[in-house]
Amino acid sequence: MKITSIIILLALSHFACSSNEQAEIGLDSIPVAPFEKTLIVYLSRTSNTKAVAEMIKAQTGGKLVALELTTPYPADYRTTVEQVAQENASGFLPPLETRIDSIEKYDLIFLGFPTWGMQLPPPIKSFLDQYDLAGKTIAPFNTNAGYGIGTTFDQVKTLAPKSIVLEGFSTQGGMERDWVLFVMKGEKETAVSDQVKRWLNTMNTPW
């Protein structure tokens, strides 16, 4: 899909903000990067966030990258919940197996994740800590078990203070606790795909 490159015009006042300040920016207030400068990074345990990432790729043509850990989380749900709680409490950032070369060439980063304990998953925190995303635009997207985004979008803004963080997209995915795993199929897949398309269409670019 051929996407027209759009020149990014930002007010000088934006650059006057300190590194600890971040303007609230709506999706329609900034043009977005062409596909060759678009990266889609995601973490997915039950493949629901992966499905949304693939929907975004189908619309934007961006490069798709799954975050994998050096030491994967246990398959057992309860054990993983306990481990993640400990990591959040201690601030531990799990090492990533995934390596992204030349991240500086990307202007727009779609960042996808489930809600874990009403927070960002620790591997997403690892990603935001490992890479210099200063000056880049981040568009977060989320799947959750029905409890919403929690503090996830706010944490992205906090952990990427020198990035432009757009309004995010969120949808209900699986409920692993109740053995409801992959749900992005049939009518659900169609509905979420339409929602993703509407979200992308507000970004001021002819996807």
**106 within domain boundaries:** yes
Low-confidence ranges of the chain (pLDDT < 50): 1-31
Question: What pLDDT is stored for residue 54 in this prediction?
Answer: 98
**Residue 63, helix vs strand vs coil:** strand
**Residue 139, helix vs strand vs coil:** strand
CA separation for the pair 182, 168 (Å, rounded): 22
Question: What pLDDT is stored for residue 36 in this prediction?
Answer: 82
**12 within domain boundaries:** no
Q: What is the pLDDT of residues 99-117, one digit of tens each?
A: 999 999 999 999 999 999 9
- Total structural domains within the chain: 1
**125 within domain boundaries:** yes
**173 within domain boundaries:** yes
**59 within domain boundaries:** yes
Containing domain of residue 50, as a range?
A: 22-201
**6 within domain boundaries:** no
Q: Specify the CATH number for the domain of residue 193.
A: 3.40.50.360
**3 within domain boundaries:** no
**10 within domain boundaries:** no
